[in-house]
Amino acid sequence: MRRPLVAGNWKMNGSLESVRSLLEGIKQGVGDVKNAEVAVCPPFIYIPEVEQLLSGSDVAWGGQDLSTESSGAYTGEVAASMLNDFGCKYVIVGHSERRTYHTESDQLVAKKFAAARAAGLAPILCIGETLEEREAGITNQVVARQLDAVIELEGVDALADGVIAYEPVWAIGTGKTATPDQAQEVHAFIRSRVADKSSSVADQLRILYGGSMKPGNAAELIGKPDIDGGLIGGASLKAEDFLGICTAAN
Ligand code: PEP
C-alpha cells in the first residue's frame, strides 16, 4: 500500500511574514491528516525558518532544486549536503519551469536526481509533456524519455528512493487540469514502464499528479489507482486550499 504524498511547491513566492502565517495555518489543520504524508518546498532562503517552524511536526520539507556538484566554485548553486544541514527530506528535480527557463536537459536532471540520492534526500522527479507534444500524440514517448534518463544513469532501483510527479506542462499554473482519466492513463503508463524493469519498484513507487490541483478536483484525481498524491503549486500558498487537498489525500 502506497502512502499518498501531498507536496507544496511554493516556487518563488512569499515573504518571511507570509511563510510564518502559512505554516501556522498548515500546522493547525494538518493534525487530522493521518493517512497521507505532507511536505512543503519553500525557496532556499526560507528553509532555515521552515525547519524551525516545522521541526517536531508531521510536515516534512524540501528544496525546489539542487546542484549536481557537491561543493566548489558554482556561484548561486546549493548542494544536497546543504539541504541536509537544514533537515530537508525531499528535493524537486526537473520541474518544467527549470527545464524551460534554465534549459535543463534530461541528462542534467538525472544527475540532480543522483546527487540528491547520494546525499540521502528523496528526489521528486518531475516529468510531463507540453501541449504541442500532447497534441502530436507523443505524451508517452516524452515521459518515457525523461524517465529513462534517470534509469539509465542510476538504474531502476534508484527510483525506489524517490517520487515521480507527472506534471503535464499545459496544466501547470493554467487552471487547466488533466481529467482524472487522462492523468490515470499516463500514470499507469509510467508505472508499467518501471514495472518492465522491476515490478517491486513499480509497486512501491509513488507517482504524484501536478497541474492545477485544487481541493475541488483532488479527491477524484487521487482516487485513481495509480495517482498517489499531488505536487501542488498555486493552491499550496493558501493554508485552507492546501489542507483541502491533504484531506482529500487522507
Ligand atoms: C507545479 O508547479 O508543480 C504545479 C503543479 O503548479 P500548479 O499547481 O500551480 O499548477
30 assigned to some structural domain: yes
Domain count along the chain: 1
Decide which of 175 and 221 is more confident: 221
Is residue 153 one of the residues assigned to a domain?
yes
Going from the Cα of 169 to the center of ligand 1, the distance in angstroms, rounded, reads: 9
- Whether residue 241 has its Cβ less than 6 Å from ligand 1: no
39 lines ligand 1 (CB under 6 A): no
Residue for cell digits 507536496? Answer: 7
Residue from 91, 167, 217 whose mutation best tests the ligand 1 pocket (most atoms within 8 A of CB) = 167
Confidence of residue 234 (pLDDT cuts 50, 70, 90): very high
Torsion sign across C-alpha atoms 20, 115, 138, 193: negative
Confirm whether 152 is a catalytic residue: no
Whether 4 maps to a domain, the answer reads no
- Cβ contacts of residue 237 below 8 Å, gap of 6+? 8, 10, 13, 14, 22
Decide: 9 in ligand 1 pocket, CB within 6 A.
yes
Q: Which three cell numbers stand for residue 247?
A: 484531506
Range of the domain at 139: 14-249
- At 1, the pLDDT band (50, 70, 90 cuts) reads confident
Pocket flag, ligand 1, residue 211 (CB < 6 Å) = yes
- Grid cell locating 10: 511554493
The pLDDT, as a whole number, for residue 211 is 96
Within a domain: residue 147? yes
* 132-142: pLDDT as tens digits: 999 999 999 99
The predicted pLDDT at position 171 comes to 94
The pTM score is 0.97
| The pLDDT value given to residue 80 | 98
Handedness of CA 37, 232, 97, 187 (dihedral sign): positive
Share of the chain above pLDDT 90, in %: 97
Contact 30, 249 (CB under 8 A): no
The DSSP line for 82-146 is HHHHTT--EEEES-HHHHHHT---HHHHHHHHHHHHHTT-EEEEEE---HHHHHTT-HHHHHHHH
Give per-residue pLDDT as tens, 47-104: 999 999 999 999 999 999 999 999 999 999 999 999 999 999 999 999 999 999 999 9
Which of 37, 95, 97, 187 is the catalytic position? 95
Catalytic status, residue 97: no
pLDDT of residue 199: 98
Burial of 181: CB neighbours in 10 Å, binned 0-12, 13-18, 19+: exposed
Q: Mean pLDDT across the stretch 145-152?
A: 98
Residue 220 lies in a domain: yes
Residue 2, domain member (yes or no): no
Q: What is the three-class DSSP state of 31?
A: helix
Average pLDDT value for the chain: 97
Ligand 1 nearest-atom number relative to CA 165: 3
Whether the CB of 236 sits within 6 Å of ligand 1 = no
- The pLDDT of 8-17, averaged and rounded, is 98
Tens of pLDDT, residues 149-189:
999 999 999 999 999 999 999 999 898 889 999 999 999 99
**Closest protein CA for atom 4 of ligand 1:** 233
pLDDT mean over 183-198: 98
* d(CA 173, ligand 1 centre) in Å: 5
Residue 175 has a pLDDT of 87
Judge whether 3 lies within some domain. Answer: no
Report whether residue 26 contacts ligand 1, using a CB cutoff of 6 Å. Answer: no
Q: Cα 42 vs. chain centroid, distance in angstroms? A: 12
Number of Cα atoms under 13 Å in the Cβ half of residue 65: 20
pLDDT of residue 176: 87
Confidence of residue 12 (pLDDT cuts 50, 70, 90): very high
Examine the pLDDT at 4 and tell me if it is beyond 90: yes
Residues 6+ apart with CB under 8 A from 17: none
Q: Ligand 1, closest atom to CA 167? A: 5
At 103 the pLDDT is: 97
In this structure, what DSSP letter does residue 53 have?
A: H
In a domain, 8, yes or no: no
Q: What's the CATH code of the domain at 220? A: 3.20.20.70
Ligand 1 center to residue 166 CA distance, Å?
11
